[in-house]
Structure 1
Amino acid sequence: MSSRTRWWALFVLSLTQLVVVLDGTIVNIALPQAQADLGLTDGQRQWVITAYALAFGALLLLGGRIADYWGRKRTFMVGMIGFGLASVYGGLAQNGIELIIARGLQGAFAAMLAPAALALLTVTFPSGRDRNTAFAVFGTIAGAGAAVGLLLGGVLTEFADWRWCLLVNVFFVIVGVIGALLFLTESKAEGDNKYDLVGAVVVILGLGSLVYGFSLAEAGWGRLDTVGFLVLGVILLALFVWIESRVAQPLLPLRIVADKVRGGAFLIQAVAGSVMIGATLYLTLHLQIVMQMSALMSGLASLPLTAAIMIVAPFATKLLPRIGPRPLLIAGPLFVSVALLYLSRITADGSYAVQVLPGLIVMGVGMAMIFVPLQNLALAGVAPHDAGAASATANSAMQIGGSIGLSVFTAVYISAVGEASPTDLAALADGYGATFVVAAIGMVVASGIAIGLIRGDKSVLLPDSSQPVLAHA
């Protein structure tokens, strides 16, 4: 593949990753309008978000193995087309059940699309400086996707209709399919490729049970159904690990997550996902409900977060080969934590310029420092046979982290608000502030993970000439 074709391939893969991530948040701003239009209950409103993240996160490992065994380009194409059809179905939904089903289908096809895209990136840029740059670009765009979703959702809701927050995906699908035909090369794992169906069923049920249990926590952590689903999820995931250690062709080869550095990167990705997906939702609610911003103004108000990520990312990319990923992954979460603690001081009568804007800028700086090295580090040293599975694990960490984070933040918010009236804006602001404090604690933990697990000289963590990852047609 020529150098020019490789960079066009990066554009296609990054664009499709953007739509997968932004679809986790683009409907957030549109939810009030969709709820009124379709007559959604509050429970259905929550499931419009949860259905996407749950299907995406639970099916990612299976999607990664399908990409490895069936062909990454082929899986990418099917995932892209299916994602587009599910988006049209959701955009034309006539009731809440149809919308929730459409969101679940989006998540299922995204679970094929996302690991295939990241695996294709891995084999397209096998080593060296170009690989570092490509992963930095890909990670930055993926990291900014949640914030871009808020802005795009605001624009579409204000000037068109909430349905266009789903129908707009057709544009991305058309570009992705054409780009894949022109610039992507097929690759797949060689050798004996047998699907681990038992492991697939167990991990899907385990992750699904865990995420669903956290979604029930908003009604109370001590409830029997909440505890039951959480415990069941943990038991099933433990069973999955046992199964994977004994089958010949595991769905998730344990060598992928056993590596201390790679495992640390996955954990940091989970925490970062919880903040980008969960905390940004409550920021949106504060802007719209407490500060009385329109959907468009709320989207524009979130733009500094995206702008800061995009401005700082090139500098972090240049800094990465000089200092290595460890300092960035230690400092980045601390920047985000400081920003979240600043945002936790929001009040009902406070101004955007004083109470919100500085926090968004600092958060963007920190997120850029996290996302630039993270994807590269998570996939460094992965064998060609495992590219799809490792890519799926990286994506799954962010999506499951986002799902759990959203559920935890919701439980914290409900606990903080208590019996306050929905019109008590001061109480609502206090509830949103409480979620930001919990998110800040999570980012401090992420920095601690980097200190404890992301160890080694930069030449070890990010070699300039690592073992190439070869594509096998």
Structure 2
Amino acid sequence: MSSTTAQRWVLGLSSLASFVVVLDMLVVATALPAIQRDLGASLEDLEWTVNAYTLSFAVLLMTGSALGDRYGRRRVFAIGLGLFAVASAACALATQAGSLIAARAVQGAGAAMIMPVALGLLNGAFPPERRGWATGVYGSVTGLAAIAGPVLGGLVTQHLAWQWIFWLNVPLTVIAIPLVLGRIAETHGPGGALDLPGLALAAASALGITWALVRGNAAGWGSAEILSTLAGGVVAGGLFIVRERRAPAPMLPMRLFRSPAFSAGNAAVFFINASLTSAIFFTAQFQQVALGHGAVQAGLRLLPWGIAPFLIAPRAGALTDRIGERALVVIGTLLLGAGMGWIAIISQPGIPYATTAVAMAVGGIGFSLALPAVTKSVVSRVAPPDIGRASGAFSTLRQLGGAFGVALTGAVFASAGGYTTARLFADGYVPAMAVSAALAFAGTAASFFLPRLSYSRPPLRHEGQRPTERTAP
């Protein structure tokens, strides 16, 4: 069955938007040393350059989805692209670390409006029998962004300037906006009131805990600043749970966590992404600061982590149906932890790349096996009306895991190393990678609570039928 012109436009524009959003998570990795030199940024500033984007993206994901359902997915998609373009320009024009961090936070808010709405448009445009093919294309393009991000960041930083990693977003998103408005039909979801108190509590919890981790070494772990922000984050998290249990239209229904597959799957993906994101953050810098490579070489040397997911992940999904989620997630997280631990053991200035590449490949294979299986575990057992919220919770915890991993390993790095010499950077890098390995093994522990096999129930109604779904030309 061939696709219609309208379906191809939805697929193409959704995939382009996903490519840009995911690219911006990783393209910064190889530009961090240049940003550190040009803006006089500290380690804390570099962490917030990554985490400001990740945190606002994670916290606002479910809100972006709700806005699309209520006010129109096409409209919110276009607004998100516009916000992303403006924020990208602000990043490129930043002359201080603080202004760059603020612009990155706004960029993450734009990404949170783009990603869930793009998936909603994609699922609405294709019938159930073509949806798997469409999401496969979409996922492949997203995987390509993960491969291209560090390499493109290195090329642009080395041959132009780090500011151009942000300028490249502007024409792509500006061109996409009129195409979205002119080529995609408007659709709405169930709608309903936004859970603003829940959003505020979730944001306060994530910000308080991450702030304490990032600032701990500088301010002192026993200081009033750290103790108050950490306690505030924990309290806000508890209040969020209370709020979601009582809210008439919660952004994250607590009843979903009664499912071991949902709870363990979300815990596992939190630790999996914490491990990989923190490893990429420091390894891109290790290649340049400790080993003396240029930005392009550093990006190319990260490819073993990116190629494996691109090649293996599509096939791992089919394997999940045969042997179950738990086996793949356990094996995958063990390989991921082994790869990170191997890097921690062997890393030192002057280390041959071949040994590191093998360790990266082991970790990349593990990530490729675990992620499709844990994704299926989270969404396969919820009722059809809850799939959107379950997917939003999964994406949110995945991004929060990345922010947590960078903050935690950053604290470990700062306590043992620094940027002054190659030896000093390696002294901090080794324990940071050991923590990345421990985070992967924490994912292994969570994965033992997954069911052995997942037998998906038939949908309560045809997947394309949504009682409150309406379309307009």
TM > 0.5 fold call: yes
Count of equivalent residues? 465
Q: Which residue in the other structure is 2:155 paired with?
A: 155
Name which of structure 1's ranges 106-115 and 132-141 shifts more when overlaid on structure 2: 132-141
Aligned to 2:194: 195
Identity, % of aligned positions: 30
1:470 Cα deviation after fit: 3.4
Q: Secondary structure at the match of 1:24?
A: helix
* Cα displacement (A) at 1:154: 0.4
Matching residue's letter, 1:216 = R
For residue 408 of structure 1, report the CA deviation from its aligned partner.
Answer: 0.5
> Could you give the per-residue CA deviations for residues 251-271 of structure 1, whole angstroms, max 9, x where no partner exists?
222234443212222222212
2:465 alignment partner AA:
L
1:156·1:162 contact (CA, 8 Å) conserved in 2? yes
Distance 1:7 1:123 in 2: 13
TM-score (norm 1): 0.88
Match of 1:214 in 2: 213
CA contact (8 A) 1:60 1:392 kept: yes
The answer to whether structure 1 residue 244 and structure 2 residue 244 are counterparts is: yes
Residue type of the alignment partner of 2:210: V
Partner Cα separation in structure 1 for residue 380 and residue 123 of structure 2: 9
Cα separation, 2, equivalents of 1:7 and 1:377: 29
Q: Superposition RMSD on alpha carbons, in Å?
A: 3.0
Q: Which residue of 2 aligns with 1:422?
A: 420
| Alpha-carbon distance, 1:464 to partner | 9.9
Match of 1:253 in 2: 253
Taking the TM superposition and a 5 Å limit, the aligned residue runs for 1:10-159 are: 10-124=11-125, 127=128, 131-132=131-132, 135=135, 138=138, 142=142, 145-159=145-159
AA in 1 matched with 2:212: G
Structure 1 unpaired stretches of 5+: none
Counterpart in the other structure of 1:303: 303
Shift in Å at residue 466 of structure 1? Answer: 8.8
> CA 1:459–1:369 in 2, change beyond 3 Å: closer, same or farther?
same
After superposition, the C-alpha distances for 1:241-300 in whole angstroms (9 at most, x for unaligned) are 111111211222223444321222222221222123211011111100111000111111
SS in 2 for 1:83: helix
Give the partner amino acid of 2:157. Answer: T
- Structure 1: how far apart are the matches of 2:227 and 2:143? 32
Deviation, 1:397, is 0.9
Residues 178/264 of structure 1: CA separation in 2 closer, same or farther (3 Å cut): farther
Alignment partners' CA distance in 2, 1:413 and 1:359: 20
Aligned partner of 1:457 among 453, 464, 467? 453
The CA deviation at 1:27 is: 1.8
Given that 1:336 and 1:440 are in contact with CA atoms closer than 8 Å, whether structure 2 keeps it comes out as: yes
Q: Distance in 1 between matches of 2:311 and 2:216?
A: 38
Point out the more displaced range, 93-102 or 1-10: 1-10
Question: 2:35 is paired with a residue of what secondary structure?
Answer: helix
The alpha-carbon distance between structure 1 residues 81 and 257, as it changes in their structure 2 partners (threshold 3 A), is farther
Ranges in structure 2 where 5+ consecutive residues have no aligned partner: none
> Measured at CA, do residues 241 and 24 of structure 1 come closer, stay the same or move farther in structure 2, by a change above 3 Å?
same
Name whichever of 96-105 and 388-397 sits farther off. 388-397
Once structures 1 and 2 are overlaid, which stretch shifts more, 3-12 or 292-301? 3-12
Q: Could you say which residue in structure 1 is the equivalent of 2:394?
A: 394
Contact 1:330 1:451 in 2 (8 A): yes
Once the two structures are TM-superposed, the CA of residue 13 in structure 1 deviates from its matched residue by 2.8
Distance (Å, rounded) in 2 between the aligned partners of 1:413 and 1:29: 18
Range moving further from structure 2, 98-107 or 312-321: 312-321
* Residues 71 and 186, structure 1, Cα contact 8 Å, conserved in 2: yes
